[in-house]
Structures are given as structure tokens and as C-alpha cells.
Structure 1
Amino acid sequence: MWDRLLTDCHVLTMVPTPGDPLGVVRNAAIGIHEGRIVRVGRRTELAGTRAAEVVPLGGAFVTPGLIDCHTHLVFGGTRAAEHAMRRAGATYEEIAAAGGGIASTVRATAAASVTELLDQSRARLHALIRGGVTTVEIKSGYGLDPASELRLLNIVRTLARSEPVRIVPTLLALHALPQGADRAAFVERMIEDLLPTVARLGLATSVDAFCEGIAFTHAETERLFEAAAAHGLPVRLHAEQLSNSNGAALAARHQALSADHLEHLDEAGAAAMAAAGTVAVLLPGAFYTLRETKRPPVDLLRRHKVRIAVASDCNPGTSPCLVPQLAMNMACTLFGLTPEEAIAGMTVNAAHALGLAGEVGTLQPGKAADLAVWRIAEPQELGYWLGLMPERRIFRGQDQ
């Protein structure tokens, strides 16, 4: 006997079939046992199946639980004042040069107690959960010294152990250079001191960096990635956000799970990503907040058959986004994704970006029973509405 049988629904399996990129099964049912999917099929095919609980969904659409594969969720304070500065015309670089940007969040984060950081981060996490997220990546990066980064990753671990959501912790080891710091000494400390400690304690499952003119160089990033590989940790990269620094090709060379942002990606970078299987993570919230005008080259990614993921990039300065479906809408409206691409971007492709494609992202037997139930008439509405919330969210087989 199964634990649950969800009936009277239409299922977006996210396993493409000819002519149907969403793999829709209409008039469907889903069998769940011990937190996993055991059967997905037409309701008539599952008729007579025994389950401890039968849950009719009244014609709703069911997707895999949403996957937010790029967030900076743990931080102190806000940067609302910088929002006003941007509206007055200040650029990202000008705000950073004036002591704002990442540096201001680092100060606010250092000033907050662990309890305050937990409370603030938990509230943001709850907002994503309400929006249908069942898996979320959370980066460190607002500590900028080993002790502070470990503090943040331990907060991420506490959230993972106390909330009904799958959390993927990432060490953002090279995010920004502290003001007045010796550059070589800082990079050395983060790679030779912090990274081995994080690996030994199991506080992160991947390593990230910000490769950009205002951040870290190719050589510094490459050194970090080589050290990560030595510790058995996969990598991802903030790349080509503000300029074409060939970061995507660098990421691909190290078999990165993802390269993220990519507004200035060129064809060589796209080809390298395709060859390496590196996922393109698009972050329309940052594009919108920064009022950028150069869009990621979506047609280039399509032509090279690079998987496209979409994420909220929730962070205090450039993407204060707490509604995952809004990121899907913005990916369609601002970047030209189809609704089907946007849905895949926060399900199956986001799972690949986190190295979790065997566990989540599609509705198939054996996968985790992480689902979102939507009161919509057609799947395309998931790319249409602004801030749509699911009717219910199921995590590991149970309503949460």
C-alpha cells in the first residue's frame, strides 16, 4: 500500500516527449510512498491502487517543487538606501567605490548576532518556501574572512536542519576584497585556510567565486577551483555579468556545475559550456534591479544547446527577490524565454545546476516527492503571472 495517491490533476513531469517539452500528463495521478514518487500516469491507469490517503486536487496542475539554484540568503540588514542611489543614476561600480555594495552588507552581517541572522534569513527562506521552492542553494560570501564565513555556513546548516526544504550550501570563497586588505594574503587565506576547513567539516557541497574586473581575476579563480577539486568539491562561477571576462570558458574548463549571470557571454564561452555540460543560470532579478540593458544571449545558448536555469539571486543589493515565480516571469519578459523554458529553468535545469538531477527536478518514479500544486488553467500561466503562489507545496511526500 502506498502512503498517498494524488488524483484529479495534470502533471508536468518535465521529461520531454516529442512536441511537448514539459512532458504533460493530463487527467493524471501520482503515487507516493516513503517520501518518493512510485508512479505517475493517467488516473485510469492507477485506478484501484491502494493508498493510505487519497488526495483529489480538483484539476490543478502539478510541477516538481521549484528549485532556486542561486541565492545569497544569509545576510544582515538591507541595502534600501542603495536602491535610491541607483534610481538617482549611480552605477554598481560607483556604489561599491563609495563603500556600498557588498562591503556594506559585510558590515551589517558582522554587526548582527547569530540569532538575528537566523531570524532574518529564516523569514526570507519562508517566503521562498511559500512560493513553491523545495530546494534552495544558499551561498556564503558576506563574511570575507575564514571565521566569519564559517559562521555563515553554520547558520545555513542550522536552517537546513530545522526547515522543511532541501538546502544546498555553497562556499562563495572569493566574493569581494575587503577594503584595505592585502590582495595576495586574502586570496591565500581563503584558499589555504578557509576552504580545507569547510571541506573537512562538510559545510558546503560546492565552491563559488566572482570573476569580474571589480572582483577576482582568472588566475585567482583558477587557483581556487584547483584547490576545490583537490578537496572533491565541484565549482560554479559568477561570470560575464558586467563584462566579457571569459569566465564562462574558465568555468567550463573546470567542469563547473554552472556559470551564472552571463549577460556578456560570447560564442566561445557558450560553446565551452555546452561541451562541459555547464548550466547557464540566468538571474533576471539582478538585471532588473541594476537596470541593465545588455541581455544574456539566450539565442546563443539555445543554438549550442546549453541548459538554461533561472534563479531568484535573492540578495540585499542587486536582487531583493523573494517570489520564485516572479523570476520565471522576468526571465520571459526581460530575457525572452518561453514559458516552457522558464519552467524548466526552475525545475529540471536548476536540478542539473546543483548536481541533483538524480534526486529532484522531474516527476518520475524514484525521485523525491517534492511537488508544487498550482491553480491555473494552462502551464503557460507560470510565466505570465507576477508573483503567483502555489495552492499547496509537498516536500518529501508531505504537505508543508
Structure 2
Amino acid sequence: MTKKKAEDNRILLLENASQIVTVSGFEAKKGEQMQDIGVIEGGSILVKGDRIEKILMPGESTRDLVPDEVIDCRGKTILPGFVDSHTHLVFGGYRENEYNWRLRGDSYVDIMNRGGGIINSVRGTREASFEILFETGMKRLDSMTRFGVTTVEAKSGYGLDKETELKQLEVMKALQDNHSLDLITTFMGAHSIPTEYKGRGAEFIEYLIEEVMPVVKERSLAEFCDIFCEKNVFSVEESRRLLNAAKAMGFKLKLHADEIVQLGGSELAAEVGAVSADHLLQASDEGINAMAEAGVVATVLPCTAFSLKEHYARARYMIERGCAVAVATDFNPGSCFTESIPLAIALTTLQMDMRIEEVITGLTLNGAAAVGRAHEIGSIDPGKKADLVIHEFPSYQYIPYHIGVSTVEKVIKNGRMIFDASKIEIL
């Protein structure tokens, strides 16, 4: 099986949409710009091969171009494909017992101190075969597709040793080659301190820099490097050491920042020029202002806060301070075992005081910017990839209104239909 896309000259016409939400732009939208989503009523989209050729206004002719396929979008809304810019989708084993512990009142740190948490998933991933990781990864990507995701970021970090980290990244490479969705890979060997390095976090950082990251770079297995900058995990100093070394090797930078305690991770993200800083539940005013000034995309992960029963990141404050805010799921086996975009939309709108227009921007153009792809995806602009989602209702305002339920009817990736909910039969 190999990745497919539309033939170079094939012409697809999505005609007479009730609304086209363009989110037009080639870089992240900041602050109040996030509400500008560019709604066109009654328009059509002309796709040639895997690219958007033109947006047609109501009544505008396709002239001499004769479509090979026409999709009637009357009463439907077309959005750019969603970009899930923060996931940990390749892992072995599950942690359902830890979820039950949390329901009984145990904190994330309590569970980690009992030998659970990330280390639990490390055991399962080290034991899992390449084939099992690939098979489960394909199923998870299928599920993401049904929620309208067309591009997904995937992190390693459940190996914490050279062999398993490389295995995870090789699985991601195979998924990229074989699934319709595009994967953007992130090396996150510094996700936790492995048992064999307990109490020696600085030594583990040096191990990753000297022994693992050069191989990842040599094999072109990851574009980004990420680290969990957190109390009892990696300090600001250790995180700075790893990220600066990664930058010198040519990696782009990401950062798990200020999730559990206010440690200064958001300030560090601005200092080192990270593309994004993620989580940010405890980010300080100074850190948020620094990210806004430095152009770091602030990625909020509402499903994780919901799952952990923690308060949410201050998305409203971030937007008012001029940040570019992205929204992602943080799909992972422990703190957030969900890939549900509808849940993320419900939480950002109902619990985080984000307008639906801002959430749409956060899931499309700003999500694309968080993975360095705003020039290529994340909006409906001529020349960009034809990654489009047709929603079943006549207005984007139905998306949050249908609380927690997917409104996705059809998904088009690289100019080719890859999902059609109308063809799924209930037996």
C-alpha cells in the first residue's frame, strides 16, 4: 500500500457551498486576527490535481475547465482540513487502570510516583513489535480522519532508549508512506527520565544528544525536537541544553511547557525560538507576553486538562496579548486518551472562552503554523494543498452547537476523497 493523491491534471469541483470558510493566510493569525475566518456564501472551489486552483464566487463560471468530478455542496459548509498539531499516537499498551485511579482522586504526579505515567507506556512500547505499532497507528489515523483531520503531528518519547525511539520514528515513517494523512514527526526522547537513569537527568540529556539525536537526524526521521520541561522531569537548564543542541543539529523546536507547575517553560520557548510551546496551563503573564513577542505558537490542549480535571490554559488572555493560539488533542495513552476534535471544540468554546472562529483558526491555519506548514496547508487559498472538509450543515456555527458530535461528512486530502460518511451503512 502506498500513499495516493489525485492525478496531476484531474479537476474536481466542489460547487454551491452554503459557506466556504477560507481562514485565508500563509502565516499564523495572532490576537484578534484569529476571528477573521473569511466566510464566502454560495461559492465553489476548483481543485486541480492535489492543489486548490481557484475559489469561485456565486455564479462565476469555470470557463474552459471541464471538471472530472463535481460534488454538490448545497446546504454544506467547507473548511480547511484540521491539523492536529500535538499527538503521541504511536505507543504500545494502555493505561486504563490509571484513569480509574484519577477518578478516585490520585493526581498525575501521584500516579507517576507509583511507577505509572509515561514509564508505564515505555514498558509497553519497548515490548511492542514494529508490526503492532504500525497496525494500531493506522487504526488511530483512520479515526482521526473521520474527525476531519488531514495532517497530524506525532511524537516519539515512549522508548527513552535509542532502539525504541528509533522504532517509534520508523513506524511513523511507515505510516506517512502508507496512510492518506500527512504525518509530521517529532523526536521526544526527553519525555521522561527512564528508570535506568533515575536521579541522573543531566546524564540522560547528554546521552540523547550524543547517542540518539545524531542518528535521528542522519536518517531524517524527525523534523522537530521536543522536551517535557517540568518539575521532577527536566529543568529549564536541562531543557535549554537539549533544545540548543537540537537547534545546532538542524531540528526545529517544540516544548511541553508549564503544564503542572509554573517553571518558566514558556519563557524558555521564546528564548530558544521554538515554533510552538504546548500545554501552558501554568504559563506566567511574562511567559505569555514573551511568546507573543517572539512569535511562538501557543498550543492549548483542552482535552488533557479535562481528562486530568485541571483548570484550562488561559487562551483568552493569550489571544488578548497577541499570541497565535493553536488547538490540538494531545492524543496519548495516559493523560488524554482521545483523538476527538469535537470534544476539543466543545471544551475550548464552553470552558476556555474561545470564540468558534478562533477555535477554527486554531485547528487549521494556526495548527499548520505550529508544525511549520502554514505556507502549504491550513487555509483555502489557491496554490495550497487541497485538504478540505465538507461539513453536513449550512453554517460553521453548527460545529460547536452539535456538542461533542462530529459534523464531518466528507474529507478530501491532496485533492482525493478519503472519507465519505454518507456511504457508511448501519447494518
Counterpart for residue 255 of structure 1:
273
Contact preservation (8 Å) 1:281, 1:310 = yes
Structure 1 gap ranges (5+): none
Choose from 83, 93, 103 the match for 2:109: 93
Choose from 360, 382, 386 the match for 2:399: 382
Q: Does 1:282 align with 2:300?
A: yes
Q: How does 1:50-129 map to 2 (within 5 A)?
A: 50-129=66-145
Cα-to-partner distance string for 1:89-108 (whole Å, 9 max, x where unaligned): 10100100000000111111
Q: SS where residue 341 of structure 1 aligns?
A: helix
Moved more, 362-371 or 302-311: 302-311
Counterpart for residue 212 of structure 1:
230
Counterpart for residue 304 of structure 1:
321
Q: SS where residue 316 of structure 1 aligns?
A: coil
Contact preservation (8 Å) 2:85, 2:328 = yes
What CA distance in whole angstroms lies between the structure 2 residues aligned with 1:84 and 1:343?
Answer: 32
One-letter amino acid matched to 2:24: V
What TM-score comes out, normalization by structure 1 length? Answer: 0.96
What CA distance in whole angstroms lies between the structure 1 residues aligned with 2:365 and 2:380?
Answer: 9
Report how far residue 328 of structure 1 moved: 1.6
Q: SS where residue 408 of structure 2 aligns?
A: coil
Q: Does 1:3 align with 2:20?
A: no
Report how far residue 219 of structure 1 moved: 1.2
What CA distance in whole angstroms lies between the structure 1 residues aligned with 2:279 and 2:244?
Answer: 22
Choose from 351, 354, 359 the match for 2:368: 351
Residues 299 and 378 of structure 1: CA distance in aligned 2, closer, same or farther (over 3 Å): same
Moved more, 45-54 or 4-13: 45-54
Residues 18 and 100 of structure 1: CA distance in aligned 2, closer, same or farther (over 3 Å): closer
Counterpart for residue 328 of structure 1:
345
Counterpart for residue 206 of structure 2:
188
What CA distance in whole angstroms lies between the structure 1 residues aligned with 2:174 and 2:187?
Answer: 15
What CA distance in whole angstroms lies between the structure 1 residues aligned with 2:343 and 2:61?
Answer: 35
Counterpart for residue 179 of structure 1:
195
One-letter amino acid matched to 1:306: C
Q: SS where residue 143 of structure 1 aligns?
A: coil
What CA distance in whole angstroms lies between the structure 1 residues aligned with 2:144 and 2:47?
Answer: 24
Cα-to-partner distance string for 1:15-55 (whole Å, 9 max, x where unaligned): 28999621011101101112000101313123544322222
Residues 180 and 52 of structure 1: CA distance in aligned 2, closer, same or farther (over 3 Å): closer
Counterpart for residue 250 of structure 2:
232
One-letter amino acid matched to 2:372: G
What TM-score comes out, normalization by structure 2 length? Answer: 0.90
Q: How does 1:137-156 map to 2 (within 5 A)?
A: 137-156=153-172
Residues 391 and 88 of structure 1: CA distance in aligned 2, closer, same or farther (over 3 Å): same
Contact preservation (8 Å) 2:399, 2:407 = no
One-letter amino acid matched to 2:355: T
What CA distance in whole angstroms lies between the structure 1 residues aligned with 2:23 and 2:189?
Answer: 33
Q: % of aligned pairs identical? A: 35
Moved more, 10-19 or 339-348: 10-19
Cα-to-partner distance string for 1:131-170 (whole Å, 9 max, x where unaligned): 1110000000000011110010000000000000111000
Report how far residue 225 of structure 1 moved: 1.1
What CA distance in whole angstroms lies between the structure 2 residues aligned with 1:19 and 1:316?
Answer: 31
One-letter amino acid matched to 1:102: I
Counterpart for residue 30 of structure 1:
45
Choose from 347, 353, 368 the match for 2:385: 368
What CA distance in whole angstroms lies between the structure 1 residues aligned with 2:227 and 2:201?
Answer: 15
Cα-to-partner distance string for 1:78-133 (whole Å, 9 max, x where unaligned): 11100110011101001000000001111111121111111122211110011111
Q: Does 1:15 align with 2:30?
A: no
Moved more, 328-337 or 151-160: 328-337
One-letter amino acid matched to 1:13: T
One-letter amino acid matched to 1:207: C
What CA distance in whole angstroms lies between the structure 1 residues aligned with 2:35 and 2:184?
Answer: 30
Q: SS where residue 227 of structure 1 aligns?
A: helix
Q: SS where residue 272 of structure 1 aligns?
A: helix
What CA distance in whole angstroms lies between the structure 1 residues aligned with 2:34 and 2:302?
Answer: 27
One-letter amino acid matched to 2:214: P
Contact preservation (8 Å) 2:300, 2:315 = no
Choose from 399, 403, 414 the match for 1:396: 414
What CA distance in whole angstroms lies between the structure 2 residues aligned with 1:389 and 1:165?
Answer: 19
Moved more, 298-307 or 155-164: 298-307
Choose from 126, 133, 157 the match for 2:173: 157
Report how far residue 285 of structure 1 moved: 0.8
What CA distance in whole angstroms lies between the structure 2 residues aligned with 1:312 and 1:318?
Answer: 11
Contact preservation (8 Å) 2:83, 2:149 = yes
Moved more, 66-75 or 116-125: 116-125
Contact preservation (8 Å) 2:279, 2:313 = yes
Q: Does 1:42 align with 2:57?
A: yes
Residues 277 and 160 of structure 1: CA distance in aligned 2, closer, same or farther (over 3 Å): same
What CA distance in whole angstroms lies between the structure 2 residues aligned with 1:377 and 1:41?
Answer: 18
**Which runs of at least 4 in structure 1 moved beyond 6 Å after TM superposition?**
16-20
What CA distance in whole angstroms lies between the structure 2 residues aligned with 1:300 and 1:389?
Answer: 29
One-letter amino acid matched to 1:117: L
Which is bigger in relative contact order (C-alpha 8 A, separation at least 6)? 2
Residues 18 and 154 of structure 1: CA distance in aligned 2, closer, same or farther (over 3 Å): closer
